[in-house]
Amino acid sequence: AQTVTQSQPEMSVQEAETVTLSCTYDTSESDYYLFWYKQPPSRQMILVIRQEAYKQQNATENRFSVNFQKAAKSFSLKISDSQLGDAAMYFCAYRSRHGGSQGNLIFGKGTKLSVKP
């Protein structure tokens, strides 16, 4: 079974600075997707960024980028120029691309990010 581990329950960053959230996962599959979801106090689950395992290039979405290390099974999220609105719980998630699990997500425990003005 696949597992996702986020080792940082809480992180803090100064506004305008950069922060990196860690995520590791365990799987025997070679083809899968990885995601970072943001959950602000409203509790809405918002997709931040996704990475296909077969792509070597790291995904980037504006101020958000990932460092995907497939061999190490590591998938960290870097937030540049942090803004107050980035304060939220961030979940790393894994999704199989094939097999019996038809696309359901496996989440890590989350990292609560605080942004200091």
Partner 1 sequence: AAGVIQSPRHLIKEKRETATLKCYPIPRHDTVYWYQQGPGQDPQFLISFYEKMQSDKGSIPDRFSAQQFSDYHSELNMSSLELGDSALYFCASSLLGQQNTEAFFGQGTRLTVV
**Residues within the interface to partner 1 (CB under 8 A):** 35, 42-47, 50, 52, 91, 95, 100-110
Partners of 3 in the β-ladder = 26
Q: Indicate the DSSP class of residue 86.
A: G
Q: How many residues does the chain have?
A: 117
Q: Measured from the CB atom, is 63 or 95 closer to partner 1?
A: 95
What does the buried/exposed string (b/e) look like for 29-52 if buried means 16 or more CB atoms within 10 Å of the residue's CB? eeebbbbbbbeeeeeeeeebbebe
Bridge partners of residue 32, in order along the sequence: 96
Nearer to partner 1, 56 or 104 (CB): 104
Question: Would you say 55 or 116 has its CB closer to partner 1?
Answer: 55
